[in-house]
Amino acid sequence: MWYDKFLSIYRAGISHEFVLYFNIRDVVDNYRNIERYLYEEFIKQRNFSIVAFYDISKGLTFLDAGMEREFNKITSNEAVGLKNALPSRLFPYIDIALKNTKMMLFIDHTEKIIPNGDVASMSMEERIALIWLCEWSNNAKISSVGSTIVMLANTIAEINSEIFRSSYRVEPILVELPDEEARKEYINYLIKDNNIKMDIGVDEFAKLSSGLSKKAIKDIKLKAEAEDVAISFEFIKEKKHSVLQKEYGDVLEFIYPEISFEDIGGMERAKKYLLKNIVDPIKKGDLRRVPMGILLCGPSGTGKTLLVNALAKSSGFNCVKIDMSRILGQYVGESEKNFKKCLLGAQSQQPVIVFVDEIDTAFRRGESGDNGVSRNIFSEFLQFTSNTNNRGKVVFIAATNRPDLLDPALKRAGRFDKKIPILLPEEDERAEIFRIMIKKYGFETDIEDFTPFAAKTENYTGAEIETVVRKAYEIANEDDIDGCILTVDILEEAISRCKPSTQQVEFMTKLAIRECDDKDLLPEKYRELLDNRADLDSAL
């Protein structure tokens, strides 16, 4: 819990100035907000003379009138008319109080006082506030009298990064969203005195509400009561999507898949691996088996994205996609801020699958002319994907047809440490894909065995087989006859008209094989190539 970290740092004397960020507007337990929680659990036991609150809209306020009188006395009544003044006029008096009595100062909306960005672009007022906040963290007198400063912010990325330099002693502390156990406890608290209608149990409600704050969970309960409906899977899903879309929709794409492993043909080795090493271990709580990240390699159209969607559906885990077009902004610091919010939003959904398509183009170490934005985002991504605390909670899956273009730092053990080749389907897999595609579109057919068509579509990707099936339906309807059936002749004609068009399939296949680190994930015919990497390298 964030409070344990806060208390540990305070007791150790490491710092007396903190930034609490992210889920700061939520209730900490079942009813207390952060300020009240800190007052009852921390302040009351330590005899603070003054407890004050500051934000630029309300100015400086106090817990009670006696504390305000004490502040005025210490500052010789010179700040009496300055409680609503800007930091440049008010902070010098707060400085006097911090140094001369044991004072607890809460500063809310810190990002509005010292916004992120280049210091040179800050206003004079913002620079003055930044200097005060930085200097307070190092002031020995403030520390000796026991004064404490707690700044609050929605996201750390919006605060000027200067304050977190190692030369200052400001400690950032993440206030996380409630975990499943905390959500379960809170739901029981909400329903204990109400006869609220529920079509699901508390345990399922707690699981479905992952990624939500306690306030959002309470809103679901209140909306169900207002609409006089039972809390159900669909009701929670609808309300949850609305909350998450509002909170993170600008930086994350939420995936709600409709297909499972049974709905995609082939890729049996990959499916088996994902079930045994991701889905089952996470559900059983054995996170040691779960890789930090998975890299899907193979030619375009072989079903890499489809596999991720099916994994999300089959596992029941949350799934989000990082889309760099949503991240990159036009203003200084905006892209980095968006990316931090993106990662934090993804982390809040745990257990969650985070998908990055075409990762070779999404993340690069840096290019000239982008003011270091690419380098900063790349560095942040490396740090996040190597954090072992996320193992089995945030599962990164990336797809690429050009793994040779990936930065080696991404592919090392401890990041995307499992490489799974997604190659052209084998003959039996192609037959299955024909059957599934016809079923997917609801086309009528009198064909029972698709093996002959699989034999005629060697080197076709799954996407190209789908094109063949759709072409067959076009041919069947050329005479505008309703209820057309896909016959053998029609499907053969479609195959003759649709030839494989994927470029560089052989090259991309060899790249995927070279990247593979587990023979069990390769078809038999490719395993010898993996034994002769030197020959494979020379062929490329």
Residue with more model confidence, 414 or 85:
85
Placement of tokens 């559906």 in the chain: 313
Amino acid at position 47, single letter: N
List of domains in the chain: 2-175 (3.40.50), 180-248 (1.10.8), 261-421 (3.40.50.300), 427-497 (1.10.8.60)
Other beta carbons less than 10 A from residue 102's beta carbon: 17
DSSP structure class, residue 426: P
In the predicted model, is pLDDT for residue 161 greater than 70? yes
Q: Residue 540 — very low, low, confident or very high, per pLDDT cuts 50/70/90?
A: low
Residue with more model confidence, 244 or 51:
51
What does the pLDDT average to over 459-487? 85
What does the pLDDT average to over 149-171? 92
Residue with more model confidence, 237 or 83:
83
pTM confidence score:
0.76
pLDDT for 266 equals: 86
Cα-based torsion angle of the residue sequence 222, 226, 229, 230 in order, rounded to the nearest 10 degrees: 20
Other beta carbons less than 10 A from residue 478's beta carbon: 9
From CA 33, how far away is CA 25, in angstroms rounded? 7
> pLDDT tens, 170-218?
999 999 889 889 999 999 999 887 778 899 999 889 888 888 999 999 9
> pLDDT tens, 405-444?
988 888 888 888 899 999 999 999 999 999 999 998 889 8
Tell me the percentage of the chain whose pLDDT exceeds 70: 95
pLDDT for 334 equals: 77
Average pLDDT, rounded, for the chain: 89
- CB distance 383 to 344 below 8 Å: no
> pLDDT tens, 344-381?
888 888 889 999 999 988 887 766 555 678 888 888 88
Residues β-bridged to residue 170 = 17
From CA 509, how far away is CA 26, in angstroms rounded? 50
What does the pLDDT average to over 124-134? 96
In the predicted model, is pLDDT for residue 510 greater than 90? no
What does the pLDDT average to over 217-243? 90
Q: Residue 252 — very low, low, confident or very high, per pLDDT cuts 50/70/90?
A: confident
Picking from 117, 23, 20, the residue whose alpha carbon sits closest to that of residue 335 is 117
Q: Residue 539 — very low, low, confident or very high, per pLDDT cuts 50/70/90?
A: low
Phi, psi of 469 (to 5 degrees): -65, -45
Omega within 30 of 0 (cis) for the link into 351: yes
DSSP structure class, residue 263: G
From CA 72, how far away is CA 191, in angstroms rounded? 46
What does the pLDDT average to over 460-477? 91
Q: Residue 157 — very low, low, confident or very high, per pLDDT cuts 50/70/90?
A: confident
Other beta carbons less than 10 A from residue 18's beta carbon: 22
Instruction: Give the long-range contacts of residues 379-388, CB within 8 A, separation 24 or more.
Output: 380/336, 380/339, 380/340, 380/343, 381/339, 381/343, 382/409, 382/410, 382/415, 384/343, 385/292, 385/293, 385/410, 385/415, 385/416, 386/292, 386/414, 386/415, 388/292, 388/414
